[in-house]
A = this chain, B = another copy of it.
Amino acid sequence: VKRPTIADIARAAGVSKGAVSYALNGRPGVSAVTRSRIQAVADEMGFTASSAARELSGSASYIVGLALPRPAGILGMEPFYMELITGLEEDLSAHSYSLLLQLVAIEETDTDIYRRWWGGRRVDGVLVCDLRQGDRRVAVLETLPLPAVAVGPPHAAGSLPAIWSDDGASLVEAVEYLAALGHRQIARIAGLSQLVHTEVRTAAFTLACRRLNLVEVSTVSADYTGESGAQATRRLLSQATPPTALVYDNDIMAVAGLAVALEMGLSVPGDLSIIAWDDSPICRLVHPPLSALTRDIAAYGRHAARLLRRAMAGEKVESVQEQPARLRPRGSTGPVRG
């Protein structure tokens, strides 16, 4: 089994290589009948143009790069990224793009990967996730003429177009709902504090609590793992006057928190209300099912891919704002026990 080249097709069809290229790429310059003859020969011989050769003569690579910074210790990817990737793929593969995935340790300088991708003409464009304050990756990408889309708040994306949703608004909705149920002591179990969206959420949370005159509000830092969520919950619930409601920055921590509450003999939502961020299937499966801030992450991914495709097409694109996550109350939230 040898890979046929354009020269093989040309020979078999009795035309020049140029004609084959024109015919197969649907460009003018060949008659309809020659075109279909060439096409038939190419199909029969199972021809696929060498991507390297195309790229070398100026074509796009049709590859999009996604470098995910993962803390070394945390195994596996979070449900959020699975869904995001699903959405990305839906749009990309429909437009014959592929996704080049690279997990990079969060500690190391993950700016190199973008330089390498660009220098090696590996990818046509890239996505940046998990923005941090003063993110060096953003600085690098602003320098490079490599189309890039940031997944995160625009204020941290520099001059890169960003796709984002207003996490602050979602958090306010959650807090107001809890306040309406009579909760006065709400705590929040936050994700990695270096991440910009964590900052945004924390600021919105603090502000909302102050506005509603809630007392004893606090935000504790965790790292998205069940272990960290459980630990934080245990600490909060062991206080002299424990909070009556908890808001978590992801679903894994919320589920872990629920387990801790039950194990400490609390009833949910009787003694404690719980709200999760990002509504993966688990939220519905635990008992009681978790009230959650829901958004269509796959759609988020599809839109990010579309935005990047437009940027790669040379369009000047603006940041786009997605629907904020909305509160879907389920069994884990209820009126405070008076």
Give the interface of A toward B (CB within 8 A): 1, 3, 46-56, 61, 63, 70, 75-77, 79, 81-83, 85-86, 89-90, 93, 98-104, 115-116, 118-122, 143-145, 225-226, 230, 252, 255-256, 258-259, 262-263, 280-282, 284-287, 289, 298
Docked CA distance A329–B297 (Å)? 34
Whether B98 pairs with A101 at a CB distance below 8 angstroms is yes
B100/A100 in contact, CB under 8 A: yes
Q: Provided the pairs A75-B298, A89-B102, A101-B101 are in contact, do residues A47 and B259 lie with their beta carbons within 8 angstroms?
A: no
Residues of B within 8 A of A285 (CB): 226, 230, 252, 255-256, 258-259, 286
Query: In this complex, what residue of B is CB-closest to A68?
Result: B89
Assuming A48-B116, A256-B285, what are 8 further A-B pairs, CB within 8 angstroms? A50-B121, A52-B56, A75-B83, A76-B280, A76-B281, A77-B82, A81-B82, A89-B103
The complex places the Cα of A143 from the Cα of B46 at a distance, in Å, of 13
Query: What is the distance, in angstroms, from A258's C-beta to the closest C-beta of chain B?
Result: 8
Contacts of A144 in B (CB 8 A): 1
Of chain B, the residue at the smallest CB distance from A58 is: B52
Pick from B51, B83, B98: contact of A76, CB below 8 A: B83
CA distance A255 to B53 in the complex (A): 50
Check B82 against A86 for contact (C-beta < 8 Å). Answer: no
Distance in Å: Cβ of A182 to nearest Cβ of chain B = 26
Smallest CB-CB separation from A122: which chain B residue? B51
Give A107 to B164 CA distance when docked, in angstroms.
Answer: 33
Docked Cα-Cα span, A162 to B89, in Å, equals 27
Which of A47, A99, A225, A287 lies at the interface centre, i.e. has the most chain B CB atoms within 10 A of its CB?
A287
- Output the nearest chain B residue to A84 by Cβ-Cβ distance: B76
